[in-house]
Chain A
């Protein structure tokens, strides 16, 4: 046995440590799922879920039925909705700041990347987080917490930031 064998063993051992660490991390990978599952049946929270099937149906129905008062905005919304695989919403007006901090602590920062953080004069906090795979946004999280309300939005599916910007511009025009 030579020194080089020792180094080979050391590298294997370190790789094993890394693998174990990553395995342990993967147990926290579904942090948002865990968060939803913690509060989905909590009476303090309002929960809404839009399934892929509903998104498909939204894309097919007549725009007149939907009372789309603003065509450009509706088009932008429908354009984004067709790429979505699901939307989960969790809101509460009870101790919103506590739930905001709790949700932030819960999110796995290795899994999600902060896109935008806003803190306004009233002390309301908003954070946009994205989960990317091969440079494609797979999930967009919006965390909002202030004195009045806590909101957690989870958009799942292929998301295009350009489409979000387009919609933001349409709303800004109003």
Chain B
């Protein structure tokens, strides 16, 4: 009798015509009554549904989901790098500038604008040496006297200048 009732309720359940009460009754019969082997599969099926229904989300589920959403939506830090081709372009520009400067300096020397551009010749200085040691000494002495005299004159002018500045300083005070 119970087996027929179970079969009848199963037919209505799978036909989608069973009420909630009938479904509850079916579950109870499958769990409590001794059932045949053919109904054993259905008993296990309903048991599995009950177990899965008991599964619930953990308390930290919402937090985990929100954290993963935020991580996804945060913009990644942008790392700027120069590609090899750009480095080569910049290096080429520097090389061109360097070559240009070198060419400019070479072709327009700043510090020798006036004198005739004679190449440095190998000078045979022996042609210009005094013939005797006495003459060489006199030339050297005169050269040193010139240096010493101009040195004295320069320092005398500098001293006068300093003295004048001192006098002016006294007047200001």
Contact A31–B133 (Cβ < 8 Å): no
- Report the bound CA distance from A49 to B143 in whole Å: 11
B46 within 8 Å of A by Cβ? no
Interface residues of B in 122-161 (CB under 8 A from A): 123, 125-126, 128-130, 133-134, 136-137, 139-141, 143-155, 157
Q: Please give, as numbers and ranges, the residues of chain B lying within 8 Å of A33 by CB-CB distance.
A: 120
With contacts A31-B112, A58-B133, A102-B114 taken as known, whether A164 is within 8 angstroms of B151 at the C-beta atoms is: yes
Contact B109–A57 (Cβ < 8 Å): no
With contacts A27-B109, A58-B140 taken as known, whether A38 is within 8 angstroms of B153 at the C-beta atoms is: no
Question: Can you list, as one digit per residue, whether each of B76-110 has a CB less than 8 Å from chain A (1) or not (0)?
Answer: 00001111101100110011011101100110010
- Report the bound CA distance from A50 to B140 in whole Å: 8
Contact A9–B91 (Cβ < 8 Å): yes
Return the chain B residue nearest A143 by Cβ.
Answer: B150
Contact A109–B150 (Cβ < 8 Å): no
Contact A2–B136 (Cβ < 8 Å): no
Q: Please give, as numbers and ranges, the residues of chain B lying within 8 Å of A168 by CB-CB distance.
A: 147-149, 151-152, 155
Q: Please give, as numbers and ranges, the residues of chain B lying within 8 Å of A136 by CB-CB distance.
A: none
Which residue in B83, B143, B147 is a CB contact (below 8 Å) of A1? Answer: B83
User: How far, in Å, is B146 (CB) from chain A's closest CB?
Assistant: 7
User: How far, in Å, is A73 (CB) from chain B's closest CB?
Assistant: 8
Contact A13–B94 (Cβ < 8 Å): yes
Q: Please give, as numbers and ranges, the residues of chain B lying within 8 Å of A16 by CB-CB distance.
A: 94-95, 98
Q: Please give, as numbers and ranges, the residues of chain A lying within 8 Å of B118 by CB-CB distance.
A: 34, 37-38
- Interface magnitude class on chain B: 35 or more
B111 within 8 Å of A by Cβ? yes
Q: Please give, as numbers and ranges, the residues of chain A lying within 8 Å of B80 by CB-CB distance.
A: 3
Q: Please give, as numbers and ranges, the residues of chain B lying within 8 Å of A58 by CB-CB distance.
A: 133, 136-137, 140
With contacts A37-B120, A54-B129, A57-B136 taken as known, whether A105 is within 8 angstroms of B113 at the C-beta atoms is: yes
Which residue in B99, B119, B129 is a CB contact (below 8 Å) of A49? Answer: B129
Main secondary structure of the interface of A (DSSP, over half): helix
Question: Can you list, as one digit per residue, whether each of A8-19 has a CB less than 8 Å from chain B (1) or not (0)?
Answer: 011001101100
User: How far, in Å, is B31 (CB) from chain A's closest CB?
Assistant: 70
- Report the bound CA distance from A21 to B136 in whole Å: 41
With contacts A20-B101, A120-B153 taken as known, whether A106 is within 8 angstroms of B115 at the C-beta atoms is: yes
- Report the bound CA distance from A17 to B105 in whole Å: 11
- Report the bound CA distance from A30 to B112 in whole Å: 11
Contact B154–A116 (Cβ < 8 Å): yes
Q: Please give, as numbers and ranges, the residues of chain B lying within 8 Å of A103 by CB-CB distance.
A: 115
Contact A34–B120 (Cβ < 8 Å): yes
A167 within 8 Å of B by Cβ? yes
A126 within 8 Å of B by Cβ? yes
User: How far, in Å, is A29 (CB) from chain B's closest CB?
Assistant: 11
Q: Please give, as numbers and ranges, the residues of chain B lying within 8 Å of A38 by CB-CB distance.
A: 115-116, 118
6 A-B pairs with least C-beta separation: A13-B94, A24-B105, A20-B102, A168-B148, A118-B154, A49-B128
Q: List 20 A-B contacts (CB under 8 A).
A: A1-B87, A2-B81, A3-B82, A5-B87, A6-B90, A17-B94, A17-B102, A27-B109, A36-B123, A51-B129, A57-B133, A67-B134, A74-B141, A87-B140, A105-B113, A107-B111, A120-B153, A155-B147, A167-B147, A172-B152
